[in-house]
Each structure stands twice: as structure tokens, then as C-alpha cells.
Amino acid sequence: MTVQPEEEEKERFVRDLFDRIARRYDLMNRIMTAGAWHVWLRAFGRHAVVRPGDLVLDVGCGTADLCLLMASRLGSGGRVTGVDISEEMLAVGRRKVAASPWADRIHLRTGNALDLPFADASFDLVTSGFMLRNVADLDRALREMNRVTRPGGRVALLELSHPTNRLIRGPFALYFQNVVPLLGRWAARRSRSDVAPYEWLPISWRAFPDAPGLAARLAAAGWAGVRCVPLTGGIACLHLAEKPEKPR
């Protein structure tokens, strides 16, 4: 697939895509980001306020890296729920959770970002990592996150972005649109799979809003106090916001 799929096809396409790459996802993350993934995780831990006893929802939890990070900071009274549409990604995540010291604080289950299976105001903190590029309806996903967050609760969203510094923007675009698919072809040969999942990455990135654009979409979805924390020269960006105590 070399173009964005139609909206009604995108959910099935993304689910099948991540099912196929689940076993190699963590390794390819490290390779394709040249280790920056772990830098971004540490930045997420610094800026996303995780309080002891919080009830946290990680949307598009994948292989559970963010779930494990947050569970390590919650204390015994906190809980993390992770949802993802890919059963194969969840299977990898469950193995990692079971091998961790925080297995009793984390529950992973199937769930769709566009129709979260939770009551209104269920969570203190809602997060996602590199998931929003893959949803069929970005605005609906942001509204769903807002719906399940309690008034006064927070959201923390880590995503690839579009660097504004031309000294970074040009080389990054060249790398992401040309080198990443080549790495994907190498991985595909190694695992005897197809290359579509790795070609999808630059396609989804090109179509995704830049940091100010995503901030505006968050505000339109009901979030307040939106702020952006650029990472690695703006290659990635952490968006933080709160749900107002009273509807605006």
C-alpha cells in the first residue's frame, strides 16, 4: 500500500499490519529510531504526570512499553489499562507484563480508540504513544479520550511530528521516507514477511498534523491548557493537556 487507505478500510488495514509485525516491533523500533525511542520514553516519564493511585488508560498500547513505564510509578494503589486493536501486539505486551514486577497493576485488552469500551470519566490519565497516526478518525479518537477522562484529568500523547528547523527537517524527511522503507525491506527478508508495514510509516507521517495542528485538534476535542514538548529537534512531540473541571 503506497497511499492512505480509505477511512473505512484503514482500521482493518492497521490491525492486520500490526498483527504481522508484532514479533519484530520492538526490535525495529530500536533500529528505525536509532535508539531515540528510549530517549522519548524517558522524556515521557519526565513530563507526563503519573501520580500514585492514578487510574491510567493507554490507548493503542501495542507491546506495553508505556504501560510498564507508568505502572512503575503508580504505587500499589494505581492501575494501568492498555487497549489495542491488534491481538498479536497485545500477546507480545502480555508476555512483557507477565515478566515484569508490575504485572498486578496492568491489564491489557482489545479495544478500539474510536469506541473505547469504558464509561465516562473512568480515568485520571489517558495516554498514547505513536498511535494517533493510525486511527481512521483522529478527531473522534481525541473526543473519546476526553470522554473517558475524569474532569481535571490529563492526557499525554507522544507522536512523530514535523520538525520546523530546516537543518533537521530535510535530513529527517530523507531518512524517514527513503531509509526506513529500506530497513523494512531488510526486516521483511529476515522474517519472510511483506514490506507494506514499513512503507506505511512514512505514508502515515506525511498525512499527520504538525505539532500546532495537533494542538488545535486537541483543543477542538475539549482539552484545555494544551502544550507541546518537542523532542529530538521536533522529530517527535509530546502533547500534554487537561480536561476542564467544567464543560466549556
Q: Which three cell numbers stand for residue 223?
A: 482539552
User: Could you tell me if residue 56 is inside a domain?
Assistant: yes
User: Could you tell me if residue 233 is inside a domain?
Assistant: yes
Residue 115 sits in a domain of what CATH number?
A: 3.40.50.150
Distances (CA, A) of 55 to 8, 103, 111, 115, 127: 32, 15, 17, 19, 11
Q: Is the pLDDT of residue 188 over 60?
A: no
User: Could you tell me if residue 196 is inside a domain?
Assistant: no
Would you place residue 16 in the very low, low, confident or very high pLDDT band (cuts 50, 70, 90)? confident
User: Could you tell me if residue 183 is inside a domain?
Assistant: no
Q: For 126-136, what is each residue's pLDDT tens digit?
A: 999 999 999 99
User: Could you tell me if residue 191 is inside a domain?
Assistant: no
In the chain, the percentage of residues whose pLDDT exceeds 70 is 84
User: Could you tell me if residue 112 is inside a domain?
Assistant: yes
Which sign does the torsion angle of CA 27, 30, 32, 38 carry? positive
How many domains does the structure of the chain reveal? Answer: 1
Would you place residue 99 in the very low, low, confident or very high pLDDT band (cuts 50, 70, 90)? very high
The pTM of the full predicted model, rounded to 2 decimals, is: 0.89
Q: For 111-128, what is each residue's pLDDT tens digit?
A: 999 999 999 999 999 999
Would you place residue 24 in the very low, low, confident or very high pLDDT band (cuts 50, 70, 90)? confident
User: Could you tell me if residue 181 is inside a domain?
Assistant: no
Domain of residue 95 covers 7-160+209-242
CA-closest candidate to residue 38, choices 70, 61, 65: 65
Q: For 223-232, what is each residue's pLDDT tens digit?
A: 999 999 999 8
User: Could you tell me if residue 49 is inside a domain?
Assistant: yes
